[in-house]
Amino acid sequence: MKQSITKKLDILYIFLILTGLLQITITAQERNSSISGEVRDAVTKQPLPGATILLLNTKIGTAADNNGYFSIGKIPAGVYNIRASFTGYEQNTKVDITAATSRNSTVYFDLTPAQMQTNEITVSGNYYEKPADQATSFRSLTQQEIRKSAGSAEDIFRVMQSLPGVATAGGKSAQLIVRGGSPDENLTLLDNIEIYNPIHFARTGESMGIISIINPSLLRGVDFMTGGFPSKYGDKMSSVFEMSMVDGNKELYNVDANVNLSGFGTMIDGPLPGNGTMIFSARRGFFDLLTSLMNRPAAPRYYDAVGKATYDLDDKNRISLVTFYYLDQISREGTTKESSTMSKYDYLTRDDYGTAIGMNWRYLFAKKAYALTTLSFCGNGWNTLQGTEIDRSLSGEDIREDSYSLKSEITWQYIPELEIRTGVDFKFLDSKHLAWKPADTTRNGQIISSSSISYLPDVSSKSAFFLQDTWHPAAQIAITTGMRYDYFSFTKEGNFSPRFAMSWYFTDKTSINASYGKFYQTPALYQIALDPANTSMRSSLATHYVIGISHLFADDTKGTIEVYYKNLINVVVANDTTDIFTNAGTGFSKGIEFSFQKKFTNGIVGSASYSYSISKRNDGANLADYYFEFDRPHILNLLAGIELSDTWQLGFKFQYASGSPYTPIAGIAMKQGLYYVVDGDYNSARYPDYHKLDIRLDKKIKFDTWTLTAYLDLWNVYNRLNVLSHSYKVDNNGIITTNTKNDFGLLPIIGLSAQF
């Protein structure tokens, strides 16, 4: 069955390659480039007919039509900064927009009404966009910034690891560690659809995961909120990661094909009959081929496919259909080193899979109001078999978690100074959890009994309601107050979450920003399933306090300082020898962040950030505080890029972080005639500091009807030996052996991207 699915997926990818090549041969598109897009009101989403669009440093421009749509054709291939302006609105500038030969590039502008603008940006042009209700801890990145970041291999999550307050788990993981929180405390959305697992080879509750499932070419942009987020977001304690997909362009068909160390991908976008557009991407990983060439025992393989179709039914109604699919497969035969949890048994097969499909309906039902309704399904599954030559299924699991969601929100600009937003969210959860494992002994000699779980609960539900308003009592002040209520039927628990945010621009370039809020996170289904006692768990609670200052040094250059404190109660705590979870945990995370960012103008882009933080937890009354496993006191990120010429670009990234805490070995002890290790104080030691330098070089080659971009991304240029973990084993003579798991050494990643 597995081989059949894999073969069908391989055939699909070959078909997509041939489709792209056929598109090249049958389309006789003009050799000039074009740029098209939309201009809309940032609050009400109404089109702005007559808005002026100008390619800076040229005499080329146009005006938007009655639907806010514009198109600029027959322009020379190159990289442009594009500005949109409209009477009564602040200007907005998009940078680093590539116009490639025989292609159309799509650009979206959301203009802020001048009476609502908090004077952060002068009339010369807005390079930094921030929603009025997100006063603190907000960063937005464009598709171009994602694709050109050094040390990321064009992976969106690895790019985000360089932002203030975000720590990396190492080059072998794309997971996000936000302000001392665990990766499962982060909410991920794709076009308003919640995605439970956005990273290949990652599972809920794990810190590993190799590469993002989302092709960056699909993204219009990314909004990342690391604290104090608005009341429309719930059920997560640390951050919100919201990805918005581009719509396919209306002018002509574009085809992208790219290949690098991680795999091959292709993307197609263009018009559909009946005033529609589409965009679709599919990728196939190369890890299984590489491990086979290197004669390694593990053979990981992945596939993913993401697509979107958009239709304008009329000038007020727009619907879009979003699809998402991934499959991860690992098989291994033969013993490998014991530093990995997947290496406990000699034989392993593991399949992780997920799918999501959703429909968004945006209805402009009034001049100053619109509704966004989303109907979606998201399903994830995990199948694992582990064992020995005698029994290859000693341990295993078959887990499935499905959710069906309906949510709707209304945004209403009641008066120019007051915006009101309200919404509801209904979600139905269906799951199964089958698992079995033999009796075992921990490395400390504690006995773990064998277990068999068959958990098939009735369908449960989650419902939520939120209401918030953003008020501008003066042009320099924005105040957002909000309230959210969540109810989880399984635990019969309801929670109120107040939220508050404020920005005061006491000069036209400098603002003071603050936010406060309570953020609940319900226990995960996989935690509840492990033992009947876990049904008594309740939601964990994080209370955020954030204050900061932001200053605009120039139109394209911005600096911020933020201080934050997160107080945690009712934190879920696990037991070492049983599957029982409780809410006995407490904790806190506090820190200060400094950041400096320059947008891509005049051929130069760069950013720098430094964070100092402390993250501690406590697992119960009368127990001592300890450093949380994701505590990284010092984090420094330096990024820079320079356009050497029209066809050459050079980028750098330096990362430094304090070593993560771990529990050292205090000695050995004998139990029942066998030697075991004795742990020291929990998380009382730290691994060596983590640091590395990455360099990326891009070369663009232009042909008559297509463009080829080649890049060399060098990870860890000076070959730093970064330690990720230690594991210990004691032999029959009482001698301790330490196995050390290191991050990648010097790793060259070569990539090719063809655009047709």
Question: Looking at 47-61, 126-140, 261-275, which range is the least confident one?
Answer: 126-140
What pLDDT, on a 0 to 100 scale, did the predictor assign at position 118? 43
What pLDDT, on a 0 to 100 scale, did the predictor assign at position 28? 41
The model's confidence at residue 8, banded by pLDDT at 50, 70 and 90, is low
- For residue 106, give both structure tokens: 């799509």
pLDDT tens, residue by residue, 662-679 = 999 888 888 777 788 888
DSSP three-state, residue 566: strand
The rounded distance, in Å, linking the Cα atoms of 697 and 84 is: 31
Taking 70 as the threshold, does the pLDDT of residue 29 lie above it?
no
User: Beta strand 219-225 with 193-194: parallel, antiparallel or unpaired?
Assistant: unpaired
Taking 70 as the threshold, does the pLDDT of residue 287 lie above it?
no
| Mean pLDDT across 588-599 | 94
The model's confidence at residue 457, banded by pLDDT at 50, 70 and 90, is confident
Question: Looking at 436-450, 631-645, 665-679, 713-727, which range is the least confident one?
Answer: 436-450
Contact 544, 515 (CB under 8 A): yes
Contact 196, 135 (CB under 8 A): no
Query: Nearest-CA neighbor of 158 among 100, 211, 203?
Result: 211
Percent of the chain with pLDDT over 90: 44
| Mean pLDDT across 424-429 | 94
What pLDDT, on a 0 to 100 scale, did the predictor assign at position 78? 82
What pLDDT, on a 0 to 100 scale, did the predictor assign at position 297? 54
How far CA 98 is from CA of 55, 77, 123, 258, 523, in Å, comes to: 12, 8, 25, 17, 45
The model's confidence at residue 314, banded by pLDDT at 50, 70 and 90, is very high
Q: String of b and e for 312-348 (b: at least 16 CB within 10 Å)? A: beeeeebbbbbebbbbbbbbbeeeeeebeeebebbbb
Contact 13, 81 (CB under 8 A): no
Taking 80 as the threshold, does the pLDDT of residue 374 lie above it?
yes
| Mean pLDDT across 364-392 | 91
Contact 127, 91 (CB under 8 A): no
What pLDDT, on a 0 to 100 scale, did the predictor assign at position 515? 96
- For residue 590, give both structure tokens: 């506090």
Taking 90 as the threshold, does the pLDDT of residue 237 lie above it?
yes
The model's confidence at residue 348, banded by pLDDT at 50, 70 and 90, is confident
pLDDT tens, residue by residue, 108-125 = 999 988 754 444 434 345
Q: What is the mean pLDDT of the chain?
A: 85
| Mean pLDDT across 686-705 | 90
What pLDDT, on a 0 to 100 scale, did the predictor assign at position 124? 45
Question: Looking at 2-6, 437-441, 526-530, 670-674, which range is the least confident one?
Answer: 2-6
Contact 68, 141 (CB under 8 A): no
Given CATH 2.60.40.10, say whether it is the number of domain 2-30+115-716+725-755: no
What pLDDT, on a 0 to 100 scale, did the predictor assign at position 260? 76
pLDDT tens, residue by residue, 571-586 = 999 887 778 889 999 9
| Mean pLDDT across 45-62 | 92
pLDDT tens, residue by residue, 133-143 = 888 889 888 87
The rounded distance, in Å, linking the Cα atoms of 452 and 420 is: 51
Taking 80 as the threshold, does the pLDDT of residue 451 lie above it?
no
| Mean pLDDT across 14-27 | 50
| Mean pLDDT across 412-423 | 93
What pLDDT, on a 0 to 100 scale, did the predictor assign at position 236? 94
Taking 60 as the threshold, does the pLDDT of residue 31 lie above it?
no
What pLDDT, on a 0 to 100 scale, did the predictor assign at position 674? 79
- Cα of first residue to Cα of last residue in the chain, in angstroms, is 36
The model's confidence at residue 299, banded by pLDDT at 50, 70 and 90, is low
The model's confidence at residue 593, banded by pLDDT at 50, 70 and 90, is very high
Taking 90 as the threshold, does the pLDDT of residue 363 lie above it?
yes
Question: Looking at 34-48, 75-89, 544-558, 726-740, which range is the least confident one?
Answer: 726-740
Amino acid identity, position 396 = G
What pLDDT, on a 0 to 100 scale, did the predictor assign at position 405? 96
Task: Give 289's contacts (C-beta < 8 A, 6+ positions apart).
Answer: none
What pLDDT, on a 0 to 100 scale, did the predictor assign at position 651? 92
pLDDT tens, residue by residue, 148-194 = 788 777 788 888 888 888 888 777 788 888 998 888 899 999 999 99
| Mean pLDDT across 185-206 | 84
What pLDDT, on a 0 to 100 scale, did the predictor assign at position 245? 92
Taking 80 as the threshold, does the pLDDT of residue 439 lie above it?
no
Percent of the chain with pLDDT over 70: 89
Contact 591, 575 (CB under 8 A): no
What pLDDT, on a 0 to 100 scale, did the predictor assign at position 338? 39
Residues counted in the chain: 756
What pLDDT, on a 0 to 100 scale, did the predictor assign at position 159? 86
Amino acid identity, position 415 = I
The pair phi, psi for residue 701, each rounded to 5°, is: -120, 120
Angle at 231 between CA 524 and CA 354, to 5 degrees: 40
What pLDDT, on a 0 to 100 scale, did the predictor assign at position 691? 94
The rounded distance, in Å, linking the Cα atoms of 533 and 524 is: 14
